[in-house]
Structure 1
Amino acid sequence: MPVILDITISLDGFVTAPNAGPDNGLGDDGLALHAWAIGNRTPEDLRLLAAGTAATGAVVMGRNTFDVVDGPNGWSDERHYGADQGDAAAPPPCFVVTHTAPEHVRLTDRMTIVTTGLRDAIDQARAAAGERPVVIMGGGSVGGQALRKGLADRVQLHVAPLILGAGTPLFDGPRVQLRLDEAATVVTRNAAHLCYDVVR
């Protein structure tokens, strides 16, 4: 099954606003990036969110994202992967790419810490996902690595109609050049939902 990089991004290429951190996950005034998922959502936004959540077999995330979702104000039984889908779907297993294991993991039932690199995290996620896709959900560093290393089969960008000017970039680090084929495009007032298959 495919590995999907699924991430929300501003028009100028940032996945968070400035000053993002464990207690300020999307940065200063960055919540508007995710209006399609947790704001004043349209029926089409909700349909895409529900379909993506239901299809996910396992999730890969970076340490910064983990520090937010596993923190005291992070995911809970009511709000987890898929925003506030609640009981609509059980949270998928998550694999956290980090150089150093955290001292404490709150969500021990759904988080696996991987200190041996992104490729190993994806391999473990594939084994857990069965016949469903693996989704790389964040953050910018892990997403950028997946693109540079050719580990993503599909790219799903939720492009928010915002220009942030600064923050956490997705397209950072060494140059990457990919050919993408459009698979689907849906535009709502909150985001342009762009789905591309990576051409090998």
Structure 2
Amino acid sequence: MTRIIADISVSLDGFVTGPGPGPDNGLGTGGEALHTWAFSADPGDRRVLREATTRSGAVILGRRLFDVVDGPHGWDDTSGYGAGEVGRPPFVVVTGSRPQSVRLADLDWTFVTTGLPDAAAAARERAEAASAGTGRDLDVVLMGGGATISSALDAGLLDILTLHLAPVVLGSGTPLFTCGAPRSLVRRSVTPTPNATHLTYEVL
């Protein structure tokens, strides 16, 4: 069964970037601390990253996040999706318009201009095709940004919400949750490590 899983790092005060994020400063001031766990040698962190990324049949991201990862200071051979733990799943970008050019042209990009539900449907189709091809159950991973995940939660598109709670208070930045529709969650797992508390919730 292909699930849609939102997976994102967040500060103790609820921000997914520090203040002043942008294409040249993707995580904002101090935001790098949110992802210390993803580059850690801690066995618990490595296991969490490996288990999450190996189930990635397709990945959804919003246009602002795409502009960061495809920008001049974005992903490279050492800092792409999964930090070396996974191959190259197809990426589906929710956007109002297609970009004029793509720097990371060796990745499989699909740009959906008709809204998040259509992007989710396109990503699910890609993940199901990958599942059939590999014989393994693969999921759709919604990696961000914060507004895209919040919108997906409000729209009832998520099956699972995974948060990597970093031990940092940023004070301001991009909030993960805004005033949206109430949702009930059931906690399914908690994995504490020195760099984060990894939380998995089922969305009811």
Q: In the alignment, which of 96, 103, 106 is matched to residue 106 of structure 1?
A: 103
Q: In the alignment, which of 171, 196, 199 is matched to residue 201 of structure 2?
A: 196
Aligned pairs for 1:25-174 (under 5 A) are 25-38=26-39, 40-83=40-83, 85=84, 88-108=85-105, 109-130=107-128, 131=131, 132-172=138-178, 174=179
List runs of 5+ in structure 2 lacking aligned partners. 132-137
Give the equivalent residue in structure 2 for 1:182.
187
List runs of 5+ in structure 1 lacking aligned partners. none
Q: What is the alpha-carbon distance in structure 1 between the residues aligned to residue 86 and residue 35 of structure 2?
A: 20
Q: What is the alpha-carbon distance in structure 2 between the residues aligned to residue 78 and residue 34 of structure 1?
A: 14
Q: Which amino acid aligns with 1:163?
A: V
Q: What is the alpha-carbon distance in structure 2 between the residues aligned to residue 157 and residue 89 of structure 1?
A: 19
Please tell me whether the aligned partners of residues 41 and 190 of structure 1 are also in contact (alpha carbons under 8 angstroms): no
Between Structure 1 and Structure 2, how many residues are aligned?
194
Q: What is the alpha-carbon distance in structure 2 between the residues aligned to residue 117 and residue 65 of structure 1?
A: 16
TM-score (norm 1): 0.93
TM-aligned CA deviation for residue 75 of structure 1: 2.0
Provide the identity percentage.
50
Please tell me whether the aligned partners of residues 155 and 195 of structure 1 are also in contact (alpha carbons under 8 angstroms): yes
Q: What is the alpha-carbon distance in structure 1 between the residues aligned to residue 43 and residue 86 of structure 2?
A: 18
Q: What is the alpha-carbon distance in structure 2 between the residues aligned to residue 175 and residue 59 of structure 1?
A: 23
Please tell me whether the aligned partners of residues 23 and 73 of structure 2 are also in contact (alpha carbons under 8 angstroms): no
SS across alignment from 1:82: helix
Q: Which amino acid aligns with 2:14?
A: G
Q: What is the alpha-carbon distance in structure 1 between the residues aligned to residue 162 and residue 64 of structure 2?
A: 20
TM-aligned CA deviation for residue 29 of structure 1: 1.6
SS across alignment from 2:92: strand
Please tell me whether the aligned partners of residues 35 and 41 of structure 1 are also in contact (alpha carbons under 8 angstroms): no
TM-aligned CA deviation for residue 183 of structure 1: 1.1
TM-score (norm 2): 0.91
Give the equivalent residue in structure 2 for 1:5.
6
Which runs of 4 or more aligned residues in structure 1 lie more than 3 Å from their structure 2 counterparts after TM superposition?
A: none
Alpha-carbon displacement from aligned partner over 1:109-156 (angstroms, at most 9, x marks no partner): 321111111111111101111231000001011011011000000000
TM-aligned CA deviation for residue 69 of structure 1: 1.0
Q: Which amino acid aligns with 2:185?
A: L
Q: Which amino acid aligns with 1:95?
A: V
TM-aligned CA deviation for residue 30 of structure 1: 1.0
TM-aligned CA deviation for residue 78 of structure 1: 3.7
